[in-house]
Structure 1
Amino acid sequence: MKSITVTELKSWKDANEDFQLIDVRESYENDICTLNGILIPMNEVPAEFRQIDKDKKVVVHCRSGKRSANVIQFLEQEHGYTNLYNLEGGILAWIEEVDPSIEAY
Structure 2
Amino acid sequence: MPFFNALFNKKKKIKDYYNKGAVIVDVRTETEFMQGAIPNTLNYPLQTLNQHINNIKKLNKPVITCCASGVRSGIASKLLKQKGVDCINGGGWLSLSKKLEF
What TM-score does the superposition give when structure 2 sets the normalisation length?
Answer: 0.69
Aligned partners of 2:70 and 2:90 also within 8 Å: yes
Do 1:4 and 1:86's aligned partners in 2 also have CA atoms closer than 8 Å? Answer: no
1:64 aligns with 2:69: yes
**C-alpha RMSD of the superposition:** 3.0
Q: Does 1:80 align with 2:94?
A: no
Could you tell me which runs of 5 or more consecutive residues in structure 1 were left unpaired when the two chains were aligned: 100-105
Q: Name the count of aligned residue pairs.
A: 91
Q: d(CA) in 2 for partners of 1:41 and 1:60?
A: 11
Q: Name the SS of the counterpart of 2:57 in structure 1.
A: coil
Higher helix residue share: 2
Give the 5 Å matches for 1:42-53: 42-53=46-57
Overall identity of the aligned pairs, in %:
23
